[in-house]
Chains A and B, each alone.
Chain A
Amino acid sequence: MSAPKLEAAGLTKIYKDGAVVAVDNISFTVESGETLALLGPSGCGKSTTLNMIVGLERPTSGDIRIDGRSVVDVPAGRRDVGLVFQDYAVFAAMSVRDNLAFGLKVRRTDKAVIRREVDKTAEFLSLTDCLDVRAGRLSGSEQQRVAIGRTLVTKPALLLLDEPLSNLEASARPAVRQELRRLQQELRLSIIYVTHDQTEALSLADRVAIMHHGKIIQEEQTLQIMQYPGHVRVAQFLGSPPMNILRGRLADAGGGVKFTHAAFAVLFPACALPAGIRERGPDKQYALGFRAEDLVLVPPEQGLWQGEILGVEIRGGDAVVNLNSHGSPLQCVVEHKLKAAPCAAPAGTRSESAPDLRPEPEKEGFPTTRRTGVSEAVPETSPAFDVVSLRKGAPAGLTLAPENIVLFDGDSNLRLESTLVPVPQCFNPQPSPSVA
């Protein structure tokens, strides 16, 4: 039996006689064997949505279909939907075995079948060694596995996970995420995963639906959503740090595109406005989105525009530089740089005994684009900086490759399909006339 397909159509939940619209006319589909994440801050309506699917709450309007059949009138116990709560809700005084068997016992399943299914589930979740331990004595991540196992053992068609990792300590989460991915791979269940944690959504879901004030503001393939946020709010919600946003006007100017912010202007060289945007006229407002990983720090005089360093947050292998650019906060990711040790070869030369496998550094010192080709083994990173030398108050130049800019309509905040078009520059050393 293949996993079912779930459809929600025009789902709405209104509380308090119309005073509170918790879920506002949302529609989505979970294909067979697919994991959909409902991602959003607390209070965005994602748990209410889940409760309606389980049958704990009745939608004010709209329909929920499992494999094409409406289940709105089917009671919770008969929907064949398994729900795992964030607080595990394991029976602490019962053994792990009794916890796992619980769902089957209440269904009056045959004892031999219970035993077989419990053993199988325990083995799958690596709980075999603690089957006879009281659940309350297990660690948080083990209890979470028991909670998942208790649901899996009843073989639900659809698995709903409500913030399953939020009560675990941070250090236990990567391992449980890995465990859940294995479970997805091997069981191919249809899953709805509700979370406010983007790492969980991005690392576990095939598709992500981002909720805000009861609405789905974007639904997208997980691998796409980071690069193509459909709305300024999505751009500012996803990513750590999230996308930088600058608002202003755009116009073609001198072989490039001039961006005019309230407080400053930037000329992006060697690119042009796409026709669709030029036709909108010069007075339209735009929001420029660009990833902190794509903003490049350079000496002040080499920047397309300037900013002041407010502080540096070291993350490990890289660091986030907080900047103030004419009153706008911006963030930039720089890589750590290890200085050559005194006994090592001086920078720029390669020691004979230890040739370096890294790609040749950019000759000009500061690469301006890092959207590298697919076949290339170089991750997209910022130039290396000795982060301890980036001091607060220091002026910084900023550059940004036009192809790394995502354009949003400044009024609707929706992403525009077109973006700045790079114009190939001639190899002619003399200043060339505008190709655009």
Chain B
Amino acid sequence: MTTTTAGAESPPGVPVLEARELSKRYGRKTALDRISFSVPPESFVVILGPAGAGKTTTLRLLAGLEQESGGEMLMDGRSVAGLEPKDRDIAMIFDNLALYPHKSGFQNMAAPLLERRMPREEIRRRVDAVAAKLRIAHVLERLPKTMSGGERQRTALGRALVRSPRAFLLDEPLSSLDAPLRFELRAELKRLQREEGHTFLMATPDFTEALAVADTVLLLRSGKIVQAAPPEDLYDCPADCAAALFVGSPQIAVLHAELREGLIHCAGLALPLPAVLEEAAEHMRGAGADGFLLGIRPENVRVLLSFPSAPETGGQTDIPGARRHAVGQVTDIESLGLRSVITVRCGREQLRMLCSAAQRAQIRIGQDLAFTPADLERLTAFDRRTGMNIGRRTGRRTFSPCFNPQ
């Protein structure tokens, strides 16, 4: 099925939705502080942020449900100022997807089209097409109370998706679902968005959901956009320390580190400066500081079950003074199934690392454990005072042909 868009197609390069310096104040409280972003056609953009960050406010402003305090919003390059919600050609999908209990699946899904006086055959065609996509064709003649939870949620989603507005705004559409159903439906949402060429702007507090479906993530905090990036960049190159802590589970460890004689000293380690942190070193030289915060993700720390007597350098001579492994005391072991998270205390620093079930069976709480960072290019550096990422933030990831891991 090809997309039948109700509104005019935008010229190439013009975003479907755009916010310029958009602000919203409630009395003296600033909910949104001059945020700017754009949503390109057929893209899936996710606003990620904790409760109270301004996610819902952003969506409500775009939908026309609230009046902005400043800035501008454009649809297909044209200002929407003064346009009523119904004239904006935007569909909004909320968390509580209620169905009419006395109407069948079909009647529920057809409701928005009936309101728009669409011809019967066209309604039938659209509802059937969306029901097939969401795999709920078998419940169209049934009442909601005879459907499973997942079928009800799909029917409710289907009701929103039978329309073809220029953009869909989704406000935590899956947050009330059990985990397995949530995983399943978010994959369906993504598939439907891509296959139908819909334009989605979704708000969520759940970073796993954002990473899984987004083309671009807008990280929102206290009414400001902290970072706008593809999911993999948000994870690998977080804009600041708080963003690094917010995205990723188990959480990144943030250690106090010092740069001396070309070596990063932290938690008993002395690591050669990786290329990715050369800019951070420049930054520190410029600021006359040598202390910074080093971010290291748990999957980037390897457990060493036997303490290596000789420095592990892969048979090459290491630079003088380098110490690539250190020892800490195990304070917590958390099994995640196939892998476990080991928490280790090194002086006043705390690190987490992932290990296999076989390794975990040999580790006890309270014992000393040696560890080593696996890939120095995956370290992140943050300014000790501002928390800003001072390493290289862009250009680390390049495209490569499929199936060419080397």
Chain A residues with a Cβ under 8 A of chain B:
41-42, 169-171, 174, 177-178, 181-182, 185, 196-199, 202-203, 222-223, 226-227, 238-241, 291, 293, 297-300, 310-311, 313-318, 320, 322, 336-344, 347-348, 350-358, 360-361, 365-366, 372-375, 377-380, 383-392, 394, 396
Chain B 347-366 per-residue mask, 1 if CB under 8 angstroms from chain A, else 0: 00000001111111110010
| 11 intermolecular pairs with C-beta atoms under 8 Å apart | A202-B335, A203-B336, A240-B183, A299-B403, A310-B191, A339-B396, A350-B314, A355-B313, A356-B375, A374-B362, A386-B405
State whether A314 touches B235 (Cβ < 8 A). Answer: yes
Q: A181-B332, A342-B395 are in contact. Are A314 and B231 (CB under 8 A)?
A: yes
- Chain B's closest residue to A312 (CB) is B212
Please choose the segment from B11-19, B83-91, B101-109, B247-255 that sits at the chain A interface, where 4 or more of its residues have CB less than 8 A away: B247-255
> A387–B396 contact, CB under 8 A?
no
Among B299, B392, B399, the most chain A Cβ lie within 10 Å of the Cβ of B299
What are the residues of chain B within 8 A of A174 when measuring CB–CB?
249-251, 334
> Which residue from chain B places its CB closest to the CB of A294 in the assembled complex?
B338
Report Cα–Cα, A396/B337, bound state, in Å: 27
**Do B235 and A339 have beta carbons less than 8 Å apart?**
no
* Cβ contacts under 8 Å, B367 to chain A: none
Which positions 377-402 of chain B face chain A at CB distance < 8 Å? 377-378, 392, 395-402
Question: Which residue of the partner chain B has the closest CB to A177?
Answer: B334
* A348 and B406 in contact, given A174-B251, A198-B337 (Cβ under 8 angstroms): yes
In the assembled complex, which residues on chain A have CB atoms less than 8 Å from the CB atom of B329?
A: none
A357 touches B313 (CB 8 A): yes
Looking at the assembled complex, report how far the CB atom of B320 sits from the nearest CB atom of chain A, in whole angstroms.
12
Q: How far is the CA of A307 from the CA of B274 in the complex (A)?
A: 38
> Does B129 make an interface contact (CB < 8 A)?
no
B337 x A238 contact (CB < 8 A): yes
A313 B377 Cβ-Cβ under 8 A: no
Is B112 located at the chain interface by the 8 A CB criterion?
no
Chain B contacts of A339 at CB under 8 A?
Answer: 396-398, 400
Determine the distance from Cα of A178 to Cα of B333 in the docked complex, in whole angstroms: 9
Which of B183, B213, B403 is close to A297, meaning CB atoms less than 8 Å apart?
A: B403
Q: Which residue of A lies closest to B262 (CB)?
A: A353
Q: State A222–B339 Cα separation when bound (angstroms).
A: 12
Shortest distance between the CB of B314 and any CB in chain A (Å)? 5
- Of the candidates B205, B212, B250, the one whose C-beta lies within 8 Å of that of A313 is B212
- What 6 pairs across the A-B complex have the smallest Cβ distances? A313-B212, A317-B299, A355-B316, A344-B275, A299-B403, A339-B398
Which residue of chain B has the shortest Cβ distance to A336 in the bound complex? B232
A202 touches B336 (CB 8 A): yes
How many angstroms between the C-alpha atoms of A385 and B400 in the bound complex? 9
Docked-complex contact B314 and A356, CB < 8 angstroms: yes
A241: chain B residues at CB < 8 Å are: 183
Assuming A174-B249, A339-B398, is B211 touching A315 (CB within 8 A)?
A: yes
Chain B proximity of A292: nearest CB distance (Å): 10
Chain A neighbourhood of B179, CB < 8 A: 197
Are B247 and A379 in contact, with the CB atoms below 8 A?
A: no
- CA A177 – CA B334 in complex, angstroms? 9
Of A182, A373, A374, most B-chain CB atoms within 10 Å:
A374
A392–B191 Cα distance when bound, in Å, is 10
Q: A356 to chain B: which residues have CB within 8 Å?
A: 314, 375-376
Q: CB of B297 within 8 A of chain A?
A: yes
Interface centre among A182, A300, A314 (most CB of B within 10 A): A314
Q: Name B338's contact: one of A177, A293, A375, A396 (CB within 8 Å).
A: A293
Is A354 a contact partner of B359 (Cβ separation < 8 A)?
no
Known: A313-B187, A336-B236, A372-B356. A390 touches B402 (CB 8 A): yes
Q: Is the CB of B275 within 8 A of A354?
A: yes
Q: Per a CB cutoff under 8 Å, which of B299, B337, B406 touches A226?
A: B337
Check B232–A311 contact: CB distance below 8 A.
no
State which of B57-65, B164-172, B287-295, B302-310 sits at the interface with chain A. B302-310
Contacts of A320 in B (CB 8 A): 212
A377 interface neighbour in B208, B276, B305, B360, Cβ under 8 Å: B305
Kindly state whether residue B9 has any CB partner on chain A within 8 Å.
no
B272 touches A353 (CB 8 A): yes
B230/A388 in contact, CB under 8 A: yes
Q: Is the CB of B248 within 8 A of A316?
A: yes
CB <8 Å contact, B392 and A384: no
Residues in B with CB closer than 8 Å to A361 are: 406
Q: State in angstroms the CA–CA spacing of A377 and B206 once bound together.
A: 32
Across the interface, do B405 and A357 meet the contact criterion of CB distance under 8 Å? Answer: no
Asked if B81 lies at the interface with its beta carbon under 8 angstroms from chain A, I say no
Q: Give the CA-CA distance A105 to B273 in the complex, in Å.
A: 61
Give the contacting residue for A389; candidates B247, B376, B399; CB below 8 A. B399
CB contacts (< 8 Å) of B402 on chain A: these are 389-391, 394
Tell me, in angstroms, the Cα distance from A365 to B50 when the chains sit together. 41
Q: Cβ of A316 and Cβ of B275 under 8 Å apart?
A: no
B372 on interface, CB distance cutoff 8 Å: yes
Q: Are A354 and B249 touching (Cβ within 8 A)?
A: no
Task: Decide: A374 and B359 in contact? CB cutoff 8 A.
Answer: yes
With contacts A314-B212, A315-B211 taken as known, whether A227 is within 8 angstroms of B357 at the C-beta atoms is yes
**Apart from A226-B337, A227-B357, what 9 extra A-B contacts exist at CB < 8 Å?**
A169-B51, A170-B206, A196-B178, A339-B397, A342-B395, A347-B406, A354-B274, A354-B376, A389-B401
A372–B211 Cα distance when bound, in Å, is 30
Which A residues touch B222, using CB under 8 A?
Answer: none
State whether A386 and B375 are in contact (beta carbons under 8 Å apart), knowing that A317-B235, A341-B276, A343-B275 are contacts in the complex: no
The answer to whether the Cβ of B319 comes within 8 Å of any Cβ in the partner chain is: yes
